[in-house]
Amino acid sequence: MTFTKADFGADFKWGISTAAYQIEGGYSSDGKGPSIWDKFVRKPGKIFQAHHGEVACDFYNNYRNDLQLMKDLNIKHHRFSISWSRIIPEGTGRINRRGIDFYNRLIDHSLELGIEPWLTLYHWDLPQSLEDDGGWTNRNIVQWFSNYTEVCCRHFGDRVKKWIILNEPMVFTGGGYFLGVHAPGKKGLRSFLSAVHHAALCQAESGRIIRGLVPDANIGTTFSSSHIEHYRPLQKDIIAAKKVDALLNRLFLEPLLGMGYPVDDLKILKRMEQVIKPGDENKLAFDMDFIGIQNYTREFVAHTPFVPFVKARIIKADKRNVVTTLMNWEVYPEAMYHVLKKFAAYKNIPPLIVTENGAAFKDEIKDGKINDHERTEFIRDNIQQILKAKKEGANVDGYFVWTLLDNFEWAEGYYPTFGLVHVDFKSQKRTIKSSGHWYSGFLQEI
């Protein structure tokens, strides 16, 4: 199926997504306090080759050039995150004026260039001082996050109209508070369930605060979403896949929609009663203006008696003889179609926006150029799947590529490169890849 930008309609939003810790650097500049990732990257064996984000893409100092690069690439929508500890170093209390000033400059220059800012409040970099008091496992975080939301609304709400509350809450609660592979590195079911419930409460409460303080705001939140299939045509694999789907795709969406947690398909969630207080059920729901969908692949699930609580395991892509990215994720653009159709089928679901999608492949510079045809094909094929879902009735209003610049990719460090633009991390030189040129040309279509 051939397609053009015009096939999506004049109001469809096209952009790119970034995140503060992954690109900003300036980890202690101008009064910024430490975040959980500033500490976690120093733990032996946690990050690929002990990489860290203390400099990263140095966006903190290079933001004007990088915004100009966006403009040159015809990108008119930029989703970025605020570093909580840059504007409130201890997470609560004292406000760092120099941190506020940085984001004001970023927002103002974006608008000057005709780039609309999409502000993400939380993209995983919790202030370390709050983690010292329990972080997401401490119910006080609902008040901490509320205060943080208010600060951002007061300082940025006059110009920022697109607001995203949480980035992939299932990932930062699962990776950071259950598996321990992401910051802050905690493990265990109790810490995970506490973090989940408190994040879900924050997701809705923050929305209510933004609605009250920025009346013309367009408010959303984002979910990591994988298309889940059972590995074998066995009833126990089908049940296992249903459990994993409830955990990965439904855990935060359904309470937001007023449906409660998916306890019927994931019985272990009954233990969340330990942290749920009277009246919480009503506090979990909020009418978002949009839902951000972030899809990269599909997963196959098999039953196993050896994994506690869910009795399920994901069969990694390299064990299935399929084409993969550097993240060992299967290249399967059809996953995007299936996920959009799945989310769009919910009753009273707001419009969907694909707030992240991209791929990490090995890039090589030859004669000063990078011909990353695999990434170009991946992005093009996913856009095609979005159009297919849209034509079949899925209310999809936008697409944001992950990401503009090669950057720090959490536990994988700088090994996997997702950017439309290559970064030489020694010289900070930017080189537009062929995928960047393709996306720019696509966005230029009338």
Helix/strand/coil for 402: strand
Cβ atoms of 127 and 88 closer than 8 Å: yes
CA 44 to each of CA 56, 87, 264: distance values in angstroms, whole numbers, following the listed order? 19, 29, 40
User: Nearest 5°: CA angle at 205, between 199 and 208?
Assistant: 145
Cβ atoms of 252 and 313 closer than 8 Å: no
d(CA 296, CA 330): 8
Does 377 participate in catalysis according to the annotation?
A: no
Candidate list 24, 168, 205, 409, residue with the active-site label? 168
Containing 303, the helix (H) or strand (E) segment is strand 298-303
Which residues are registered as beta bridge partners of 365?
A: 370
Does 412 participate in catalysis according to the annotation?
A: no
Tokens representing 256 are 């937001």
Orientation of helix 169-177 relative to helix 189-213, angle to 10°: 150
Residue 397 CB coordination number (10 Å): 17
What DSSP line would sit under 114-141, residue for residue? Answer: T-EEEEEEESS--BHHHHTTTGGGSTTH
The helix, strand and coil proportions of the chain, stated in percent and rounded to the nearest 5, come to 40, 15, 40
Candidate list 254, 330, 356, 409, residue with the active-site label? 356
User: Nearest 5°: CA angle at 14, between 13 and 19?
Assistant: 110
Which residues are tagged catalytic?
A: 168, 356
